[in-house]
Amino acid sequence: MSRHLALPCAFVLAALPLLAGAQATVKPDGEFRYSLAAGASYASGNTSAASVNLAADGVRATGDSKWRFGAKAVWSREDGTTSAENITAGTQYDRDFTPLYFGFGSVDYLRDKFANISGRYGAHGGVGRHLVKNDTTTFDVSIGAGYVEDRYIEPADINGRTRTRYGRVEALLGEESTHKWTDTTMFRQKLTLFPALRSGGGYRGVFDSGLSVAMSPLLSLNVGLNYRYDSDPGAGFKKGDTLFTTSLAMKID
């Protein structure tokens, strides 16, 4: 499973088009802003290992809306054997319909070879409330529903049947916050739970967080932590996956 801890970055892949833990600057002016990040390591001799993590984050915000989109990829290899291969991508659009309440829609994709997932496709929508919204801190809670389908690399025993794919309707319960601790330090976290709206369908959970420390107006050091939980991943697979990444990021404002 993709639980390998990506090692600290040894060099920057600044020329790649999708450069984990990228955090684009959010300003309510209607302009697109991006952050591209990359981390990598390589070792040879008694240990032969290499890892690469890449991420891209983009956002367009106005006074009453926000459109966020991004992607992450992680690959690692140890002693000639691939030990992690993971790709995630997603987008979410939020629109305020009062100063306190908003509606949202999101689409997500996951590929994780070592979790036996050739593709997870999800679409959700719902409503949320701004509990805190100021220049240094935001904190939102949300509730909704959607549909997700898993497609498996190998047939898996899921919810009492052997399946090559598994689709279900889910509820969504989430919270998300951003914190500007200093002029150069930003922290962002998001926790979302997805209970299946079907008897015996289980539930999923995703926690994603990132810390960004600016080293210059252009470059920042980023640390990211992602944890995925699936109550019914299939026989022989663990329920939880943890990913820790470090990277350097370049902002495009």
Quick check: helix, strand or coil at residue 115?
helix
Instruction: Tell me: pLDDT of 11 over 60.
Output: no
Cα 110 from Cα 22, distance rounded (Å) = 18
- The residue among 226 and 22 whose pLDDT is bigger is 226
- HEC string of 175-210 equals EEEEEECCCCEEEEEEEEEEEECCCCCCEEEEEEEE
Mean pLDDT across 165-189: 96
Q: Report the pLDDT value the prediction gives residue 253, as an integer from 0 to 100.
A: 84
Contact 177, 140 (CB under 8 A): yes
Strand (E) positions, the chain? 32-43, 49-61, 65-78, 81-96, 101-112, 117-133, 137-158, 161-180, 185-195, 203-214, 219-230, 240-252
- Express each pLDDT in 40-73 by its tens digit: 988 888 778 899 999 999 999 999 999 999 999 9
Instruction: Tell me: pLDDT of 203 over 90.
Output: yes
Q: Report the pLDDT value the prediction gives residue 21, as an integer from 0 to 100.
A: 55
